[in-house]
Chain A
Amino acid sequence: MADFLLEIGLEEVPARMIAGAQAELLRRTLALLEREQLEGVDAVSYSTPRRLAVLVRGVREQQADITEEVTGPAVKIAFKDGVATPAAEAFARKSGVAVADLRTITTPKGEYLAATSVKKGRSAAEVLASELPKEIAGIYWAKNMYWRPGKPERFVRPVLWIVCLLGDAVVPLTFAGKTAGRASYGHRVLSSGEPFEIVAPESYLAQLEGEYVIADVEARRQKIRKALDHVTRAVEAARWREDEELVDSVTHLTEWPAVLLGGFEPAYLELPEEVLVTVMRDHQKYFAVEDAQGKLAPHFLAVLNIALDETNEPIIKQGNERVLRARFNDARFFWEFDQRTPLTERVKLLENVTFQKDLGSYATKSERVRSLAAQLAKIASSRGAAVDASAVDEAATLAKTDLTTELVKEFTELQGVIGGLYAKAQGASATVADAIYDQYLPASAKDSIPRSAEGALLGLADRIDTISGMFALGMEPTGSKDPFALRRAANSVVRILAESGLPLTLADVLGAAQSKPEVAAKLQAFFAERIEFYLREGRGQAYDVVKAVVAAGSEDLRDAVARAEAVTAVRGGEDFIAVSAAFKRMKNILDQAQAKGESIPASVNTSLLSDDSEKALESTGGRVAGDVEALRAKRQYREALTQVASLRPVVNEFFERVMVMAPEADIRANRLALLARTVADFSRIADFSEIVAQG
């Protein structure tokens, strides 16, 4: 057994792609070793912006030989007069044995030649050299490139070197014109820049560290976190603003990270925090620093890819501070410049901003959104929700005006937020300003929904306008293609309906959009998928529970969520499992009967019921159905489902004693009617026949 190391040296790989590629290289290497029966004991993988590496300990150095019995041609063809024919020779050659070693076996079809073929196992080095390059070439990159003349291969960036060792010997594989050796490179600036030799796989990590490269991603991440903590201590009562995504990004941008504390003039704190943080985080990859109250402090933290000392620290600090100052100055200029034209005056400017070429400008979109929002506000108010309809209207009128501001042109990720801030600064009510501010929430599953009913209504109206408009143009998402992010928009509609507390259903929202019937049907199907997605991914409900609940209706999202949670709570109970199974059986019988063309009357004729058990199903079932319906109306789903589960003895008894498909036509029809009524009565919370027994 020997340890195995592969390192691929690259020009800087995009930070966003590194983790995926590192995992894939490990997965592919291990799969190859297993497929080739060379599997090792354990494995680790490393990466930096300039390298991907895999280390597998205890790899088998040699495949086992494979012995196989093979049958050849019939003896009468293989030998003529005791002399081997070409057929016998070919078989011997193919099996890797001499003609003299061929045997004869008797089969029902006659006498045949046989041989014991031994396939020699290959050495691990041989297998890896020939197979591993294909695995490297197979790594998925979101964007890759050609670089060598003749375009022999594509990869994320040019390959600079490859190290491949099995034990202390080089495996001379070749990929992208580079033959593997043991020479690696250290940090671009801190190391000498000259190649150095990796002695053996086991010393890889330590040798790289000697060349100012921390190849272990977790170790680098921890070093950064510790340094952030440490450096922040220089500012009294401050802490750096936690940002997992940013930590991840800078981890993949550095080989030898250090953290620098910089500052900016407190005067900039007069700018909105959202703008300052966006500049620092998104444009400069700086961490924000906040005081004990969570208020932004005039400092930032930059993660560098260099070791800091007394000479370079002031220089690097000064450079970063100047860049940030220029960015903040720009932002301040835009902030002040934009204020000269208030949002109310920008409404007419929206006529020049196209929303979509067939759907008109943002001015016409805003008019549609106003009307949609007003309708929804009216419905919600009529059902008792406290909604400030005039605030909704004002917010919808101004919602898109920030698209004409310089600040949004500069920081597009802040659209909506900027509008809300300007509205507030220009004297709009907090309700209006917050609704504008929150209009794009939730933009992702991690985001919260708008804080107010007014913001939620604006968000619903805006999105349903976009979605129904695009569907009307035939631009609905297909397969993996969703260029207008309509699925995400629909997910947000579903979440707002389920979580905002607004008394609105999907039917209200889709109804307001007034789509043509064929478009409405497509929207219905599209949203049905999004609802199931939400219940599964957003609510963690099991697949079968979601199916069961949606089958009983999902127009009212809040109600669907409550039903799903109730079903999940009771589904493990024995009675419930048994009743679910019984419902499945009833449904099957009904389906088959329908398929055969049996008549199923709309009501049950009690005089035709003969067996006690069917009388019991009719009477107890009817009574329980009444109780369930009463509980359902009060949305006491847990209690209702307990009632459903109490049917277990009655349905069991029924199926034990009664044959539904009786020979007499009238009795048969009556029993089918009883089943149909039972299924209908009890399927208003969920279609229990969808529930899969958990084993």
Chain B
Amino acid sequence: MPHVENKKKALTFQELLFTLQRFWAEHGCVLQQPYDLEVGAGTMSPDTFLRVLGPKPISIAYAQPSRRPADGRYGENPNRLFRHTQLQVILKPPPERVQELYLESLVAIGIDLKEHDIKFEEDNWEWPVGGAWGVGWQVMLDGQEITQFTYFQQCGGMDLDPISGEITYGLERIAQFLQDLDSIYDIVWSRDPMTGTELTYGDVRLHEEQQFSAYSFDYADVDKLWEHLRLYEAECLLLLERAKTVLTEENDDALAVKRFPVMGAYELALKCSHTFNLLDARGAISVTERVGVMARIRTLIVGVAKIYAEQQRLTSLVAA
């Protein structure tokens, strides 16, 4: 089969990330750092999940390493990862012609739109545990899904107004596409401008894939994981309970309202979610249990979303 030489002009993995971040910064986005807790998707970072709630506009972009223990393959599958990297862009509210803006970002990373087949195919997003859903598309580039594009409609079981536009780039897939490679591990991560020495994705990350796959499939201690889950859950529930007395209109201690650790409660809920994913990968959750545990985590995450919205409302009342 004839091979097309377009590798030379292709961006390295890190250049791809810079370029997209610069693009969105130039279009008014705040660049945030990745969230420093295990999450299954960029959506779960508070910079998305909590910021889409309430009336306050925001444009924000960040790379988010996303862990999905069950997707680990010990580094042996060229297309699947325990941890992949998303570039998450939240536009609240989304500007007019946001799709055109997105396409411009593709041009910025070296994709000549006339040289490819691009389609926006229906793909609606749903995260039942977060009481969240939206409608949108998967963006297909020459048959490869490279981006999820979602208009958030609900979060934490609450209707959103204004809604947010969410653009999630799958960075490994895009890099693999740009560099025309069959394996993620062959992606050129960096190229030393002095020596031309290249480091691949495998050089940088393969050992993580091997070890975390082994941890989540073979080593993770099931009893201890259940115990972790129980402890995180208990503390989160305690905070949710205390929120009932602190986050009220009757409470005239504005500082106490402002300082109430909703974010702390959210982190505990995220810990539960990740622990659940580990248990699931370990094969420790029967399908029957699954429904029950998911309902427990939903209580936490939706509960946090509700107190977050309430805290925002109360602090804006004080400000006004």
Using a CB–CB cutoff of 8 Å, the interface residues on chain A facing chain B are 11-12, 14-16, 49, 143-151, 157-158, 160, 188-190, 193, 253-254, 260, 263, 284, 286, 302, 304-306, 311-312, 314-316, 318-326, 329-330, 333, 352-354, 357
Q: Which single member of B2, B79, B144 contacts A329 (CB below 8 Å)?
A: B79
**What sequence of 0s and 1s flags, for each residue 82-126 of chain B, a beta carbon within 8 Å of any chain A beta carbon?**
000000000001101101100100000000011111111110100
In this complex, the interface size class of chain B, counting residues with CB under 8 Å from chain A, is 35 or more
Complex interface: chain A residues within 8 A of B301 (CB): none
* Residues B116 and A316 in contact, CB atoms below 8 Å apart: yes
B49 to A: closest C-beta gap in Å = 19
Query: Which of B15-23, B195-203, B204-212, B285-293 makes up part of the contact surface?
Result: B285-293
Complex interface: chain B residues within 8 A of A158 (CB): 151
* Residues A324 and B143 in contact, CB atoms below 8 Å apart: yes
B163: interface (CB < 8 Å): yes
* Residues A188 and B118 in contact, CB atoms below 8 Å apart: yes
B217 to A: closest C-beta gap in Å = 14
Within the assembled complex, what's the spacing in Å between the Cα atoms of A323 and B1? 15
Within the assembled complex, what's the spacing in Å between the Cα atoms of A302 and B79? 22
B6: interface (CB < 8 Å): yes
Task: List residues of B (47-81) whose CB comes within 8 Å of A's CBs.
Answer: 77-80
Query: Which of B30-38, B134-142, B260-268 makes up part of the contact surface?
Result: B134-142
Contact A150-B161, Cβ < 8 Å, known A315-B116, A326-B79:
yes
* Residues A315 and B4 in contact, CB atoms below 8 Å apart: yes
B153: interface (CB < 8 Å): yes
Q: Which single member of A147, A157, A319, A324 contacts B163 (CB below 8 Å)?
A: A147
Nearest B-chain residue to A154, judged by Cβ: B153
28 A-B pairs within 8 Å (CB atoms) are namely: A12-B99, A12-B120, A148-B162, A151-B161, A157-B135, A189-B114, A189-B118, A193-B100, A253-B121, A286-B143, A305-B117, A312-B114, A312-B115, A312-B116, A316-B116, A316-B117, A318-B3, A320-B117, A322-B182, A325-B182, A326-B79, A329-B79, A330-B79, A333-B77, A352-B287, A353-B287, A354-B287, A357-B291
Complex interface: chain B residues within 8 A of A324 (CB): 143
Within the assembled complex, what's the spacing in Å between the Cα atoms of A34 and B287? 57
Within the assembled complex, what's the spacing in Å between the Cα atoms of A304 and B114? 12
Q: Which single member of B2, B99, B143, B162 contacts A323 (CB below 8 Å)?
A: B143
* Residues B180 and A318 in contact, CB atoms below 8 Å apart: yes
Q: Which single member of B78, B113, B124, B153 contacts A189 (CB below 8 Å)?
A: B113
Beyond A143-B135, A160-B96, A311-B115: 15 further Cβ-contacts under 8 Å? A12-B121, A147-B94, A147-B151, A149-B162, A151-B161, A188-B113, A284-B143, A315-B116, A319-B116, A322-B144, A322-B177, A326-B182, A330-B77, A333-B77, A357-B288
Q: Which single member of A143, A286, A352 contacts B124 (CB below 8 Å)?
A: A143
* Residues A319 and B144 in contact, CB atoms below 8 Å apart: yes
Within the assembled complex, what's the spacing in Å between the Cα atoms of A461 and B196? 67
Complex interface: chain B residues within 8 A of A14 (CB): 122
Complex interface: chain A residues within 8 A of B287 (CB): 352-354
* Residues B117 and A306 in contact, CB atoms below 8 Å apart: yes
Using a CB–CB cutoff of 8 Å, the interface residues on chain B facing chain A are 1-4, 6, 77-80, 93-94, 96-97, 99-100, 103, 113-122, 124, 134-135, 137, 141-144, 151, 153, 159, 161-163, 177, 180, 182, 286-288, 291
* Residues B79 and A146 in contact, CB atoms below 8 Å apart: no
B154 to A: closest C-beta gap in Å = 10
Complex interface: chain A residues within 8 A of B142 (CB): 315-316, 318-320, 323
The winner among B3, B143, B286 for most chain A CB atoms within 10 A is B143
B258 to A: closest C-beta gap in Å = 26
Nearest B-chain residue to A321, judged by Cβ: B1
* Residues B78 and A11 in contact, CB atoms below 8 Å apart: no
The winner among A144, A189, A284, A321 for most chain B CB atoms within 10 A is A189
Nearest A-chain residue to B287, judged by Cβ: A354
Within the assembled complex, what's the spacing in Å between the Cα atoms of A188 and B99? 10
Nearest B-chain residue to A264, judged by Cβ: B1
Q: Which single member of A157, A305, A329 contacts B118 (CB below 8 Å)?
A: A305
Contact A314-B286, Cβ < 8 Å, known A14-B122, A326-B182:
no
Within the assembled complex, what's the spacing in Å between the Cα atoms of A189 and B119? 11
Contact A145-B151, Cβ < 8 Å, known A314-B2, A329-B79:
yes
* Residues A16 and B122 in contact, CB atoms below 8 Å apart: yes
Complex interface: chain A residues within 8 A of B80 (CB): 330
* Residues B119 and A253 in contact, CB atoms below 8 Å apart: yes
Within the assembled complex, what's the spacing in Å between the Cα atoms of A161 and B114? 24
A85 to B: closest C-beta gap in Å = 54
Complex interface: chain A residues within 8 A of B115 (CB): 311-312, 315-316
Complex interface: chain A residues within 8 A of B182 (CB): 322, 325-326
Nearest B-chain residue to A311, judged by Cβ: B115
Within the assembled complex, what's the spacing in Å between the Cα atoms of A149 and B165? 12
Closest 5 pairs (CB-CB, A-B) = A319-B142, A14-B122, A354-B287, A12-B120, A304-B117
Complex interface: chain A residues within 8 A of B124 (CB): 143
Within the assembled complex, what's the spacing in Å between the Cα atoms of A312 and B117? 9
Q: Which single member of A149, A189, A260, A305 contacts B161 (CB below 8 Å)?
A: A149
Within the assembled complex, what's the spacing in Å between the Cα atoms of A260 and B141? 14
Within the assembled complex, what's the spacing in Å between the Cα atoms of A302 and B143? 8
Contact A326-B78, Cβ < 8 Å, known A284-B143, A314-B2, A318-B3:
yes
Contact A329-B3, Cβ < 8 Å, known A11-B99, A315-B116:
no
Within the assembled complex, what's the spacing in Å between the Cα atoms of A284 and B120? 13
The winner among B3, B97, B122 for most chain A CB atoms within 10 A is B122
B241 to A: closest C-beta gap in Å = 29
